[in-house]
Amino acid sequence: MRLRDAFIVFLVAAVAACEKAPPPFAREGSVWRYKGTVVEEADAPSFAPLSDHYAKDRQRVYYADTYRKGQEYYSVAHPRVVEIAGADAATFRYMERGYARDASRVYFEGNRPLVRTALQRLEGRLDPAVFFRASRTHVLNLRFIERIEPAVNDGLTVRVRTVGEVPVSRRQARRLRDAWSLDR
């Protein structure tokens, strides 16, 4: 085989490898599967994949991935799907890069990071020139703000690069306007 022919074979194989793989979550009749493994207790009509690893239905939130074990470590990836205990399905959403959140918690790869401190205490340890308390549930990194827009009741809505839209309370909106010299 000539070098040119070998290169063409390599190029065809590389293109084939780059083709999009099938989505990891798939519905088969009234059952949802993750890479062939049944998602137990899933409510099929309300089930919705949020990313390649997170999904939710009306009552539960799921995290799915693969794991390896023993002698078959290098050859077999076993799929697993776990319910995220304590996650609020109504407010749960995927952010990016393995992070997701509900109304009161942040999750990374299906787990809650071990941050057991009040937001107020955490805020006290952050640099106020970089971080801003937007509301009871949000502390913003000012370097990631893309735009600030007026909202109802004299509040503001801040577009943050990695999170999306974040509401700013009325009291904190006054502080933000004063600090950034924003007109009403």
pLDDT digits (tens, 9 = 90+) for 126-172: 888 888 888 888 888 888 889 888 888 888 899 988 778 889 988 88
Number of domains observed in the structure of the chain? 2
pLDDT at 33 over 90: yes
Tokens of 117: 């401190």
**From CA 72, how far away is CA 66, in angstroms rounded?**
13
What distance in Å separates the CA atoms of residue 36 and residue 25, rounded to the nearest whole number?
8
Domain that holds residue 165: 125-180
Beta bridge partners of 150: 156
Same domain, 94 and 131: no
Q: How far apart are CA 88 and CA 91, in angstroms?
A: 6
User: Which of 27, 20, 34, 29 is closest to 110 using CA atoms?
Assistant: 34
Q: Could you tell me if residue 119 is inside a domain?
A: no
Residue 55 CA to residue 24 CA, distance in Å, equals 11
Cβ neighbour number for residue 56 with a 10 Å cutoff:
26
Of 31-35, 67-71, 103-107, 155-159, least confident by mean pLDDT is 103-107
Beta strands 25-28 and 31-34, pairing class = antiparallel
Instruction: Please check whether residue 139 lies inside any domain of the structure.
Output: yes
CA–CA distances in Å: residue 54 to residues 85, 89, 137, 165? 13, 11, 22, 21
Asked whether residue 154 is assigned to any structural domain, the reply reads: yes
Residue 180, helix vs strand vs coil:
helix
Q: Are residues 76 and 146 in the same domain?
A: no
Is 0.85 surpassed by the pTM of this model? no
Handedness of CA 122, 154, 146, 110 (dihedral sign): positive
HSE-up of 34 (CA within 13 Å, CB side)? 25
